[in-house]
């Protein structure tokens, strides 16, 4: 009797997805975001970092939002330690992504340290969108590999071409990274709580820019989450139900 093969794990009744379709979607995200590494290279070099420092940031840090936050704070004259702290706390979100992806991907222990380096917004978004573990692994691998290679290659090109381009602010390249990050984040804000948290974070970050040193407003924006949770707790009764406002 022929050995029966266990059916693929399908979440929420979603049908299986062809490998070619997963690769296509992953390549689309990897290429589109990877090319914005050029903007980071230009911005980083324009903020005073050397070509070597710029490339090492992309190779070892490899999380665009944190990288842009760091060089943006340095370009604005912020303290290096404050700038690094802001970038660090912004990057801690990847640790929470890792908690979810570790269960979904279930990669071997020997591979986990390498896979962890690719746990970023884009690989998480592509992986979680897949219906099966196999598709999630393919999406994670293709997105991570494509993005890592392109991001680092275009970072080098951007750093080398920074002098020829001139003022990055005039070209709007300094806004390219944050714009990509917001475009990926916006569709994930589905609940009222998530939208409220994001809105308050924006207000805190922008409102405190004129009064706090560079790099500090992004840290203050993190207060949006506990504020929203505290407000929700005030509205809920002891049993977890919304209090009667009458």
Residue among 25, 210, 235 at smallest CA distance from 122: 25
Q: What percent of the chain has pLDDT over 70?
A: 77
**81 pLDDT higher than 50:** yes
DSSP string for residues in 160-224? HTHHHH--HHHHTGGGHHHHHHHHHHGGG--SHHHHHHHHHHHHHHHHTTTTS-TTHHHHHHTTH
* Distance, CA of 74 to CA of 71 (rounded, Å): 5
Tell me which of 188 and 17 has the higher pLDDT.
17
Note the pLDDT of residue 245: 46
Q: What percent of the chain has pLDDT over 90?
A: 32
74 Cβ contact partners less than 8 Å away, ≥ 6 residues apart: 47, 48, 49, 80, 83, 214
Note the pLDDT of residue 204: 82
Could you say which DSSP state residue 57 is in? Answer: I
Note the pLDDT of residue 241: 56
Q: What is the pLDDT of residues 142-186, one digit of tens each?
A: 999 999 999 999 999 999 987 666 665 556 555 555 665 666 566
198 Cβ contact partners less than 8 Å away, ≥ 6 residues apart: 185, 189, 224
Positive or negative torsion for Cα 117, 123, 129, 133: negative
76 Cβ contact partners less than 8 Å away, ≥ 6 residues apart: 214, 215
Q: What is the pLDDT of residues 125-139, one digit of tens each?
A: 899 989 999 999 999
Note the pLDDT of residue 46: 81
Spatial contact of 9 and 131, defined as CB atoms under 8 Å apart: no
Q: What is the pLDDT of residues 194-219, one digit of tens each?
A: 888 888 887 887 787 777 776 677 67
Tell me which of 219 and 116 has the higher pLDDT.
116
Strand partners for 236: 242
């Amino acid at each position: 009797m022929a050995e029966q093969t266990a059916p693929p794990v399908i979440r929420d009744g979603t049908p299986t997805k062809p490998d070619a379709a997963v690769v296509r979607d992953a390549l689309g995200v990897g290429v589109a975001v990877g090319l914005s590494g050029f903007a980071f290279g230009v911005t980083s070099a324009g903020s005073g970092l050397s070509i070597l420092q710029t490339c090492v940031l992309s190779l070892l840090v490899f999380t665009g939002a944190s990288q842009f936050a760091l060089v943006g704070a340095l370009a604005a004259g912020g303290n290096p330690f404050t700038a690094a702290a802001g970038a660090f706390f912004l990057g801690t979100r990847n640790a929470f992504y890792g908690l979810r992806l570790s269960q979904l991907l279930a990669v071997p222990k020997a591979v986990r340290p390498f896979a962890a380096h690719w746990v970023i917004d884009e690989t998480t978004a592509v992986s979680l969108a897949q219906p099966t573990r196999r598709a999630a692994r393919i999406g994670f691998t293709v997105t991570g590999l494509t993005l890592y290679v392109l991001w680092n290659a275009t970072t080098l090109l951007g750093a080398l071409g920074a002098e020829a381009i001139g003022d990055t602010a005039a070209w709007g390249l300094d806004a390219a990274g944050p714009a990509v990050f917001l475009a990926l984040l916006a569709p994930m804000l589905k609940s009222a709580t998530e939208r409220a948290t994001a809105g308050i974070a924006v207000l805190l970050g922008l409102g405190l820019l004129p009064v706090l040193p560079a790099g500090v407003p992004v840290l203050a924006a993190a207060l949006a989450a506990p504020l929203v949770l505290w407000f929700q707790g005030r509205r809920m009764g002891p049993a977890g139900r919304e209090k009667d406002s009458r």
